[in-house]
Structure 1
Amino acid sequence: MKIYPIETGNFKLDGGAMFGVVPKSLWQRTNPADNKNLIDLSMRCMLIEDGERLILIDTGLGNKQSDKFFSYYYLFGNFSLDSSLAKYGFHRDDITDVFLTHLHFDHCGGAIEWNENKTFYQPAFKNAKFWSNENHWNWATIPNAREKASFLKENINPIEESGQLNFVNLPKLDFLEKSELGFDILFANGHTDKQMIPHIQYQGKTLVFMADLLPTTGHIPLPYIMGYDTRPLLSLDEKQKFLNKAADEEFFLFLEHDAQTELCTLQHTEKGVRLKDTFKFNDIFN
């Protein structure tokens, strides 16, 4: 097995929304805001090369939305999914599986693209199976008013229409569930229903793709929960259980949205679980 970090682009979101009830005077220490109160974020995906399988976890925003849509998110930098794949000698047509942690637009937008004439939408990975889970799919396709702006039909419906949609097995109890893709999945429900958090055994370590369970290192303290979470008290409980386990078992956390930090580890302190170390991916895994 070989794993690669795939940078698909950077964007900005309102710092207050990203940290919920936590005062700016606290969260800006780790995530400084600009004069519009926006903080820098990444859309860092993961590519797993495992035998004949090439699995992409999340896809970033993609490029099919309107200029008006993109203007809300202040895209910056030179990263793209295609250039990141090419860096490691791959093309999107090589991808065999696209695993979507959840269906918010910044995680799945790159799964679908315009056709050449911009007359219909089509899968951006023509040879891939797309993986979600049935509960989350139903949650996203019949969205609540709170999340409706994050679940865009043009990102979701064409996956099913293509015939490439697959569902992973749902857990019977609240523990890690082995998936068809060879890694374990933790199902988390605080941010959105049945978000999937991959746990990958790699080079003798447990590598966890954090998605929106832990967006940045600045979100490690328990009350630092996004205003986007649909069930913040459940997020609090899920975070507490996960962070303690991550510190106990020395997990390496792969951060999807932290613009500065690719990987981190955690430790127990008198104030609770806190950041231990930060790393570049290739400094730990090679």
Structure 2
Amino acid sequence: MNLYPIKAGNFKLDGGAMFGVVPKVLWNKTNPADANNLIDIAARCLLIEDGERLTLIDSGMGDKQSEKFFGYYSPWGDDDLDKSLKEKGFHRDDITDIFITHLHFDHCGGVVQWNKDRTGYELAFKNAKVWSNKEHWDWAVQPNAREKASFLKENILPIEESGHLNFVSRTANAFQKQTELGFGVLFADGHTEKQMIPHITHKDKTIVFMADLLPTVGHIPLPYVMGYDTRPLLTLDEKKLFLETAADNGWYLFLEHDAHNEIITLKHTEKGVRLNEVFSCEDIFN
């Protein structure tokens, strides 16, 4: 098995929304805001090469939205999904599976693109199966008012219409190996219904793709919960259990949204679980 970080772009989000009830004077120390109160956010995806299977976890927000839409999120830098795949020796047509942690636009938008004459949509990865789970899919296609702006029908419905949609199996053991994909999945409900957190065994290490359970290093303290989460008190419980387990077991946490820190480990302290070490993907994957 080989693992590769894939950079699908960078954008900015409101720091207050990213840290909920935590005052700016605290979160600004780890995630400094610009003059518009925006903080740096990455869309760092993960490519798993395992035999003949080439699985991409998440896809960034893609490029089919309007200029006005992207204006809300202040894209920056020159990272691009196709460019990043090419740097690793791959093309999007090589992808056999796309695993979507959840269907918010910044995680799944890159799965669907305009067709050639821009009259409709098509899969951007024509040879790939697309993996979600039934509970989350149903939640996303009939969105609540709070999440409606994140569940965009043009990102979601074309996947089902393509015939490439698949659902992972649920197991009693959250970390049990999934026969469909070859890695374990933790289901978490605080951010959104049945968000999936992949656990990958690689060279005797457990690599956890954090998605929105832990967006950045600055979110490690328990009360630092995003304003976007639908059930913040549940996030507190899920996060506490996860962070303690990760610290106990020395897991390596792959941060999808932290623009400046790629992989971290945690440790127990008198103040609770805190940052232990920071690594580059090259440090851990090679």
Q: In the TM superposition, what is the alpha-carbon distance from 1:126 to its structure 2 partner?
A: 0.2
- Give me the whole-angstrom Cα distance separating, in 1, the residues matched to 2:126 and 2:285: 30
Partner of 1:158: 158
- Give me the whole-angstrom Cα distance separating, in 2, the residues matched to 1:177 and 1:188: 15
What letter is aligned with 2:86? A
Does the 8 A contact of 1:6 with 1:84 survive in 2? yes
Root-mean-square deviation (CA, aligned residues, Å) is 0.7
3-state SS, counterpart of residue 6 of structure 2: strand
Quick one: percent identity of the two aligned structures?
Answer: 69
Query: What does the per-residue CA deviation read over 1:57-97, in whole Å, with 9 as the maximum and x for residues that have no partner?
Result: 00001000000000000000000000000001100000000
Q: In the TM superposition, what is the alpha-carbon distance from 1:283 to its structure 2 partner?
A: 1.5
- How do 1:163-178 and structure 2 match up within 5 A? 163-172=163-172, 175-178=174-177
- 1:79 matches 2:79: yes
Does the 8 A contact of 2:62 with 2:113 survive in 1? yes
- How do 1:1-286 and structure 2 match up within 5 A? 1-172=1-172, 175-179=174-178, 180-286=180-286
Does the 8 A contact of 2:41 with 2:258 survive in 1? yes
- Give me the whole-angstrom Cα distance separating, in 1, the residues matched to 2:176 and 2:70: 36
Structure 1 unmatched ranges of 5 or more: none
- Give me the whole-angstrom Cα distance separating, in 1, the residues matched to 2:237 and 2:175: 16
- Give me the whole-angstrom Cα distance separating, in 1, the residues matched to 2:276 and 2:238: 20
Q: In the TM superposition, what is the alpha-carbon distance from 1:105 to its structure 2 partner?
A: 0.1
- Give me the whole-angstrom Cα distance separating, in 2, the residues matched to 1:71 and 1:149: 15
- Give me the whole-angstrom Cα distance separating, in 2, the residues matched to 1:108 and 1:182: 21
Q: In the TM superposition, what is the alpha-carbon distance from 1:149 to its structure 2 partner?
A: 0.3
TM-score between the two structures when normalised by the length of structure 2: 0.99
- Give me the whole-angstrom Cα distance separating, in 2, the residues matched to 1:208 and 1:225: 19
- Give me the whole-angstrom Cα distance separating, in 2, the residues matched to 1:197 and 1:63: 25
Query: What does the per-residue CA deviation read over 1:127-159, in whole Å, with 9 as the maximum and x for residues that have no partner?
Result: 000000000000000000000000000000000
Does the 8 A contact of 1:95 with 1:128 survive in 2? yes
What letter is aligned with 2:249? E
Does the 8 A contact of 2:2 with 2:285 survive in 1? no
3-state SS, counterpart of residue 166 of structure 1: strand
- Give me the whole-angstrom Cα distance separating, in 1, the residues matched to 2:224 and 2:265: 18
Does the 8 A contact of 2:100 with 2:107 survive in 1? yes
- Give me the whole-angstrom Cα distance separating, in 2, the residues matched to 1:40 and 1:240: 25
3-state SS, counterpart of residue 196 of structure 1: strand
What letter is aligned with 1:219? H
Does the 8 A contact of 1:255 with 1:261 survive in 2? yes
What letter is aligned with 1:142? Q
Q: In the TM superposition, what is the alpha-carbon distance from 1:177 to its structure 2 partner?
A: 3.8
Q: In the TM superposition, what is the alpha-carbon distance from 1:285 to its structure 2 partner?
A: 1.9
**Paired residues, what number?**
285
Q: In the TM superposition, what is the alpha-carbon distance from 1:262 to its structure 2 partner?
A: 0.5
Query: What does the per-residue CA deviation read over 1:172-216, in whole Å, with 9 as the maximum and x for residues that have no partner?
Result: 46x324321000000000000000000000011000000000000
- Give me the whole-angstrom Cα distance separating, in 2, the residues matched to 1:199 and 1:172: 15
Query: What does the per-residue CA deviation read over 1:200-250, in whole Å, with 9 as the maximum and x for residues that have no partner?
Result: 000110000000000000000000000000000000000000000000000
What letter is aligned with 1:176? F
Does the 8 A contact of 1:176 with 1:187 survive in 2? no
What letter is aligned with 1:144? N
Does the 8 A contact of 1:123 with 1:159 survive in 2? yes
- Cα distance change on mapping 1:238 and 1:19 into 2, 3 Å: same
3-state SS, counterpart of residue 33 of structure 2: coil
